[in-house]
Structure formats: structure tokens, C-alpha cells
Amino acid sequence: MRKKVRKNFKIFLPVFFISFLLDQISKFLVVKFLSENGSIHIFRYFSLTCVKNKGLLFGIFGNFDIALPIIMCGFFAFAGILFYILKNPKIPNFYLYALGLVEGGIAGNLADRLRIGAVIDFINFHIWPVFNLADAFIVVGVISIIFTQLRGKNASCMFQNR
């Protein structure tokens, strides 16, 4: 069983660390080169806009002081995913990649909240609230898991460990 759990972490950890580092490096660069609420127009419908988000994903509940509940939920989600990986040695590789993305995104946003009390958002498509790489990693990971679950066992069998 330890061998399978170790295998889980050999897949999960690189995805986790890469997504976390990409998120943190991108936020560092945005803060370094853009003032708060500053914006750089890249394309017609895309800008880099530095925003401090005290709310949830995409700025939801941004006007309320809910920092502690958000941080607690983030810690519980982070711990829950780690517990799931530790207790389930036969997780398909595809799910480990998706969980690594989700966990990296959670850790990236938690690091911001603990360090500055808000999350740095900067990806602005002008038709959607400003977000960051951590948000994108979480959404892609969750949608990947949901899509695979909805497709059923036949679709997910191609992702089974061999």
C-alpha cells in the first residue's frame, strides 16, 4: 500500500508544485510591474489588470469581511485532498493530475490571503471578472474531474493506472 501511495505523490506533487509556483511567480511579476488597479492592454478583449480580491472566486462576496471563513475553508479543502490521496492508494493518474492542479490553486490563493489578506487577480478578459492562475487551475482541475465522472466508467478507464 505504501508503494501505491508513494506513486500517487510522484504524480501529484510535481503538478502541485508547478501550478503553485506558476501562480506565485505570475502574481509576483504583476505586483512588481503594475500598480494596484493598473492595467496593460494586450489584445482587444484581454488585459493584465492588478486587483486585490478580498472575496471568493472571481470576486464574489468581495464587499464583506469574510477572510477567516475563506482561509478556514481553504485549509479544510487542502487537508481533505491530501487525506484522500493518502487513504486511497488506487487513484487513477488522471485524477492525480487534476487534484494536483486544484491543490496548487488552493495553496496559491491561501498563500496570498495569509501574506497580504487578499488574492492578487490579474487576468482580465473584459467579459468576466478578473482572476488569476490559481483560479484557472482550480476550475480546470474540478471540471476535469466532473467531466470524467459524468462520462462514466467507460470513459475514465482509459485513465486507469496500468
Mean pLDDT of 75-87: 92
**Domain limits for position 15:** 2-159
135 is catalytic: yes
Contact 39, 48 (CB under 8 A): yes
Task: Say how far apart CA 128 and CA 47 lie, in whole Å.
Answer: 12
Residue 158 confidence class, pLDDT cut points 50, 70, 90: very low
Catalytic residue chosen out of the listed positions 23, 65, 112, 121: 121
- The answer to whether residue 83 scores a pLDDT higher than 50 is yes
41 or 60, higher pLDDT: 41
pLDDT in tens, 133-156: 999 999 999 999 999 889 875 544
pLDDT in tens, 63-77: 556 656 777 888 899
Residues with Cβ < 8 Å from 134, sequence gap 6 or more? 19, 23, 104, 105, 106, 107, 108, 109, 119
pLDDT in tens, 1-32: 567 678 899 999 999 999 999 999 999 999 99
User: How confident is the model at residue 34, as a pLDDT?
Assistant: 94
13 by Cβ neighbours in 10 Å (0-12 / 13-18 / 19+) ranks as: middle
**Count of domains in the chain?**
1
The pTM of the full predicted model, rounded to 2 decimals, is 0.84
- The answer to whether residue 116 scores a pLDDT higher than 80 is yes
